[in-house]
Amino acid sequence: MSLETQIKDKALALRFDLVGITTADPPARIAFYRRWIAGGCHGGMAYLARNIERRADPAVLVPGAKSIIVVGCNYHTTLLRPGPLQGRIARYALGEDYHDVMQRKLDALVAAIRELAPQAQACVYVDTGAVLERELAQRAGLGWIGKNTMLFNNRFGQWLLLGEILLDLPLQHDPPETRDRCGSCTRCIAACPTRAIVAPYQLDARRCISYLTIELKGAIPVELRPLVGNRIFGCDDCLEVCPWNRFAQQAREAAFAPRRDLTEPGLVELLEELLAMDEVAFRRRFAGSPLLRAKRRGLLRNVCVALGNARDSRAVPVLTRALADSEPLVREHAAWALERIATQDGKRNAARSPKGDQDE
């Protein structure tokens, strides 16, 4: 049995759903990436603009790198769409933090590789290293990059988490996926609430709800807040409309099963709970969850925006309490939400008033 086959068998035994091997050649899309950064489309994610020389050459990360193993893990779960007073959380964030899950699996795979090739030098990345992982996945034959810039696979759709192992071993690589199976479909572009997909295969992260609710540390731009709806952490809209996702399968990895307290969070109750927490309590409450990345202030900000968009007067008491929060960011978004609800209530009262009262 070849070394490549043994590595792939071990990856599948570790419950990775996809595995492929590509070369450690420099990425072809690095010029596009440089232009994307130069245009400011990465927003406040300054880490994306650092270490570009590493992204341009995997051999900088692992001297003598010759091969890259790329793995994919399906995280799809079937969910009901929540009501207006319930928050929406991106599916990847409903279970255990995928960074931890994937890291454990990849570390086990590296250990298995070193049993087969003891002198192998390896470096593992899970959505954190300076690599263009979707191009690597396409080169390794795992799928193709769609118009929403996500990786597609004809077996799992787009519900895939990616990880990489850079090796100094000269492995036989897999044929790349060269077909673009999106065809003339533009459903993902039309479905984006904030029009963040500015053109096919081009995303302006500054408008993306995933960026606005997770990576953005300051205030959500006022003009984009109504478009966020009831999304409090990430967004799946461009994935949910994709015809290829009709082939989606349920995730095999138990760690990705949704936590019950996150699948249908009541926004009023969640805001009350968060206001009663300090940062330490917040970390304890969401330990092991991707929601930690937003931090207490960011998640409170998002919940306030979602309640403002719900325009339900039942949220007024708790939003009023949020006006006294220690975080200026929370106070600002609570005030916006209260104003939005008051405007809606004013319109309702005007619609109910007799014409004579309006004339006065």
User: pLDDT tens digit string along 11-40?
Assistant: 999 999 999 999 999 999 999 999 999 999
Residue ranges of domains in the chain: 3-76+93-167, 266-349
Q: Highest-confidence range of 84-88, 259-263, 304-308, by mean pLDDT? A: 304-308
CA distance 72 to 170: 21
| Plot region of 197 (φ>0 → left; ψ -120 to 50 → alpha; else → beta) | beta
Cβ distance 166 to 21 under 8 Å? no
pLDDT at 359 over 60: no
**Any idea what the Cα angle at residue 259 is, between residues 267 and 269, rounded to 5°?**
20
pLDDT at 336 over 90: yes
Q: What's the pTM value of the predicted model, to 2 decimals? A: 0.92
The end-to-end CA distance of the chain, in Å, is 89
CA distance 49 to 42: 8
Confidence of residue 1 (pLDDT cuts 50, 70, 90): confident
**Active site (annotated) includes residue 127:** yes
pLDDT at 79: 80
Confidence of residue 281 (pLDDT cuts 50, 70, 90): very high
Query: What is the second-level CATH architecture of the domain 266-349?
Result: Alpha Horseshoe (1.25)
pLDDT at 356: 45
pLDDT at 337 over 80: yes
Residues 163-177, mean pLDDT to the nearest whole number: 96
The active-site residue out of 17, 57, 107, 127 is 127
pLDDT digits (tens, 9 = 90+) for 63-75: 899 999 999 999 9
Confidence of residue 353 (pLDDT cuts 50, 70, 90): low
Q: Which two tokens stand for residue 111?
A: 């250990």
Element (H, E) at 19: strand 18-23
pLDDT digits (tens, 9 = 90+) for 117-136: 999 999 999 987 778 999 99
Nearest alpha-carbon partner for 150 in 222, 209, 101, 200: 200
Confidence of residue 90 (pLDDT cuts 50, 70, 90): very high
Contacts 24+ apart (CB under 8 A), 266-270: 266/85, 266/86, 266/87, 267/85, 267/86, 267/87, 267/230, 267/232, 267/303, 267/306, 267/307, 267/310, 267/315, 268/85, 268/307, 268/314, 268/315, 268/318, 270/87, 270/232, 270/303
pLDDT at 285: 96
Residue that wins the pLDDT comparison between 129 and 321: 321
pLDDT at 235: 97
- The amino acid at residue 63 is P
Weakest-pLDDT range from 130-134, 143-147, 189-193: 130-134
CA distance 57 to 331: 45
**Any idea what the Cα angle at residue 182 is, between residues 67 and 126, rounded to 5°?**
35
DSSP letter for each residue of 133-201: HHHHHHHTTS-EE-TTS-EEBTTTBT-EEEEEEEESS-PPPPPP----TTTT--HHHHH-TT--EEETT
Q: What percent of the chain has pLDDT over 70?
A: 96
CA distance 175 to 21: 9
* Pairing of β 144-145 and β 18-23: unpaired
Cβ distance 97 to 290 under 8 Å? yes
pLDDT at 349: 64
Cβ distance 121 to 167 under 8 Å? yes
Q: Which two tokens stand for residue 102?
A: 């994937």
Nearest alpha-carbon partner for 125 in 139, 110, 140: 110
Confidence of residue 246 (pLDDT cuts 50, 70, 90): confident
Q: Which two tokens stand for residue 188?
A: 């993902």
Q: What is the dihedral of CA 312, 316, 317, 322, to 10 degrees?
A: 120
Confidence of residue 152 (pLDDT cuts 50, 70, 90): very high
Report the mean per-residue pLDDT for the chain. 93
CA distance 65 to 121: 8
Cα 68 off chain centre by = 23
Going by the DSSP 8-state scheme, the letter that residue 213 receives in this structure is I
pLDDT at 360: 35
Cβ distance 229 to 306 under 8 Å? yes
pLDDT digits (tens, 9 = 90+) for 205-218: 999 999 999 999 99
